[in-house]
Amino acid sequence: MIERLKQLFASPEATNKAPDAHQLAVASTALMVQLSRIDHDEDERELQIIVECAVKANQVTREEAEEILQDALGHADDATSMYEFTGQLNEHLDQEAKLALLVNIWRVAFADGRIDKYEEHLIRRMADLLHLNHREYMQARHRAEATG
């Protein structure tokens, strides 16, 4: 998946047009998968939240969301950094959409009933990479807590 994304985002066609909803869903899902793996305790509840978030936020079908998730899971340990994903998202999402993405990332973290210190640190890094300030970071956390 990572290599496919690199090719897709680096191709001349990609630089001339915005990525479609599916491509942005892959980038968003990849961030959520990285979070689900950070505590070395991948939980089925986290994976289901990732699928739900992909369906709601990216206008993809449940089947597409599950396919994206499986692809992302298969390459989650590939150490190509979050910068590729956050860079693409920064180019094509406005501040509200990035905040909504961070809410979904927090929802994944809350899915197993606890926030690991590594999860919190990674979410902070993601927020920084998405150019979200501390207020937006906290706002996203509170929204995620409120939606359960």
What does the domain layout of the chain look like in residue ranges? Answer: 2-147
| Model confidence at 132: pLDDT above 90 | yes
Lowest-confidence region among 27-36, 56-65, 72-81: 72-81
Give the rounded percent of residues in the chain with a pLDDT score beyond 90.
41
Residue 75 pLDDT level (bands cut at 50, 70, 90):
low
- CA distances, 7 to each of 33, 35, 49, 59, 119 (Å): 20, 24, 28, 23, 29
pLDDT, greater one: 70 or 22: 70
Contacts within 8 Å (CB) and 24+ apart, 5-13: 5/30, 5/84, 5/85, 6/80, 6/84, 9/84, 9/88
- CA distances, 68 to each of 30, 39, 58, 61, 133 (Å): 9, 21, 11, 10, 28
| Model confidence at 101: pLDDT above 80 | yes
pTM: 0.81
pLDDT at 90: 95
| Model confidence at 102: pLDDT above 50 | yes
pLDDT at 94: 95
Buried/exposed 57-67: b ≥16 CB within 10 Å, e otherwise: bbebeeebbbb
End-to-end CA distance of the chain: 30
Nearest to 36 by CA among 97, 105, 134, 113: 105
Spatial contact of 51 and 69, defined as CB atoms under 8 Å apart: yes
| Model confidence at 14: pLDDT above 50 | no
CATH of 2-147, one of 3.40.640.10, 1.10.3680.10, 3.30.110.60, 3.40.50.300: 1.10.3680.10
* Average pLDDT across the chain, whole number: 82
